[in-house]
Amino acid sequence: MKTNSFNFFIGIDISKDKFNYAILDDSMKLINEGNLNMNTDGFNFFNKILKTYPDSFIALESTGNYHLNLLSFLSLNKYTIALINPLLIKKFIQSFSLRKTKTDKIDALIIAKYAFKNIENIHSLVPSITDDILALARTREELSKQIAKTKTQLKNHIVLLFPELTTNYNIFTDFILSILERFPSAHSIINAPEIKIKALFDNLCKRGRKPKLTYDKFIELAKNSIALYSENYEFVVKLDVQRLKFLNLQIRKITKIFLNQMEKLKKNDMDIMKSIKGISDITSAHFLVEIKNINRFENKRKLAAFAGIDPAVKQSGNSLKKGRISKKGSKSLRRYLYLMANSLIRSNDYFKNYYQKKKSQGMHHRKAIIALCNKLVRILFALLSNNQKFISSFHNSL
Cα(12)–Cα(315) distance, integer angstroms: 29
- Could you read off the pLDDT of 200-227 as tens digits, one per residue? 998 988 877 678 888 999 999 999 999 9
- Residue 2: predicted pLDDT: 41
pLDDT means per 10 residues, the chain with 398 residues, are 73 90 94 94 95 93 75 86 81 63 71 88 60 86 96 96 93 94 95 92 82 90 94 97 97 96 94 96 96 89 89 49 65 94 95 95 94 96 95 66
Cα(115)–Cα(59) distance, integer angstroms: 6
Return the C-alpha torsion angle 380, 309, 280, 207, nearest 10: -170
pTM: 0.71
Give the domains, in start order, of the chain with CATH numbers: 3-125 (3.30.420.10), 135-253 (1.10.287.4070), 289-386 (no CATH)
- Residue 317: predicted pLDDT: 45
**Residue 347 amino acid letter:** S
First and final C-alpha spacing in the chain: 26
SS3 (DSSP) at 395: coil
- Residue 96: predicted pLDDT: 58
Q: What are the strands, taking DSSP E only, across the chain?
A: 8-14, 18-25, 30-37, 56-61, 80-84, 311-316, 319-325
Distances (CA, A) of 386 to 307, 380, 390: 20, 10, 11
- Residue 378: predicted pLDDT: 95
- Residue 63: predicted pLDDT: 66
SS3 (DSSP) at 280: coil
- Residue 314: predicted pLDDT: 47
- Residue 72: predicted pLDDT: 82
Q: CA angle, corner 194, sides to 188 and 200, nearest 5?
A: 85
- Residue 161: predicted pLDDT: 96
Query: Pairing state of beta strands 18-25 and 8-14?
Result: antiparallel
- Residue 3: predicted pLDDT: 45
Query: Pairing state of beta strands 8-14 and 56-61?
Result: parallel
- Could you read off the pLDDT of 265-300 as tens digits, one per residue? 999 999 999 999 999 999 999 999 999 889 888 899
Provide the β-strand partners of residue 23: 10, 32
